[in-house]
Structure 1
Amino acid sequence: MATSKRSKSKPAPRKGPFRAATAWLRRGGLKRISLLVLAGVLAFVLLFRFVAPPTTPYILAESRRLGGVDRTWVSMDRIAPVMARSAVAAEDANFCRHWGFDMAAIRSAIGAGSSRGASTISQQVVKNVYLWQGRSWPRKALEAILTPMIELTWSKRRILEIYLNVAEFDEGVFGVEAAARHYFRVSAADLSATQAARLAAVLPNPKGRDAAHPTPFVQQRANAAQSGAATIRADGRDACFRG
Structure 2
Amino acid sequence: MRAFGRWLLLLLLAFAVLQLFFALRVLSMQWLMPESTAFQRSQAWQILKRDGQLPWRQEPVALSAVSTKLQRAVLASEDDAFNQHQGIWWQSLESAWEKNAKAKAQAEKRAQRQPEKPVTVKIVGGSTITQQLAKNLFLSGERTLLRKAQEALITVALETFLSKSRILEIYLNQVEWGEGVFGIEAASQHYFRKSASQLSAWEAARLAVMLPRPRYFEKLPQSPYLAQRAETIMARMNSVVLP
Name the TM-score, length of structure 1 as normaliser: 0.80
Look up the equivalent residue of 1:182 and give its one-letter code. H
Aligned twin of 2:160: 152
Look up the match of 1:10: none
The aligned residue for residue 123 of structure 1 is 131
Post-superposition offset of 1:22: 7.4
Q: Judging changes above 3 Å, is the alpha-carbon distance between structure 1 residues 47 and 111 closer, same or farther for their aligned structure 2 residues?
A: same
The equivalent of 1:213 in structure 2 is: 221
1:168 to 164, 173, 176: 176
Distance 1:33 1:119, change over 3 A: closer
5+ long unaligned stretches in structure 2? 48-52, 102-122
Tell me the CA shift for residue 105 of structure 1.
Answer: 1.1
Instruction: Flag structure 1 segments of 5+ consecutive residues without an equivalent.
Output: 1-18
Match of residue 26 from structure 2: 45
State the alpha-carbon separation in 2 of the partners of residues 60 and 29 from structure 1.
29
Counterpart residue number, 1:90: 77
Q: Which residue of 2 aligns with 1:190?
A: 198
Pick which of 162-171 and 88-97 moved more.
162-171
Q: 1:91 to 1:30 in 2, by over 3 A?
A: closer
- 1:191-215 Cα distance to aligned partner (Å, 9 max, x none): 1111000000101211221499331
Query: Does the alignment pair 1:111 with 2:98?
Result: yes
Q: Take 2:164 and 2:204, find their aligned partners in 1: how far apart are those partners?
A: 20
**What RMSD, in angstroms, separates the aligned Cα atoms of the two structures?**
2.4
Counterpart of 1:76 in structure 2 is: 63
Deviations 1:57-92 (A, max 9, x none): 221222233232211111101111111110000000
Determine what percentage of the aligned residue pairs are the same residue: 34
Aligned position for 1:57: 38
Number of residue pairs the alignment of both structures matches? 215
Give how far 1:35 is off.
4.6
CA deviations 1:86-144 (Å, max 9, x no partner) are 00000001000001111111121222225624111000000111111232222212101
Contact 1:183 1:212 in 2 (8 A): no
Structure 1 residue 31, shift from structure 2 partner: 6.5
- For normalisation by structure 2, the TM-score amounts to 0.80
Q: Could you say what secondary structure the match of 2:215 adopts?
A: coil
**Of residues 212, 234, 242 in structure 2, which corresponds to 1:226?**
234
Q: 2:163, 2:188 → 1: CA distance?
A: 25
CA 1:113 to 1:80, structure 2 compared with 1: closer, same or farther past 3 Å? same
Q: Which amino acid aligns with 1:206?
A: P
Over alpha carbons, which structure has the higher Rg?
Answer: 1
Larger mean CA deviation between 155-164 and 62-71 belongs to 62-71
In 2, are the aligned partners of 1:90 and 1:221 still within 8 Å (CA)? Answer: no
Q: 2:100, 2:124 within 8 Å by CA — same for their partners in 1?
A: no
Over 3 Å counting, the alpha-carbon distance change for 1:33 and 1:104 in structure 2 is closer
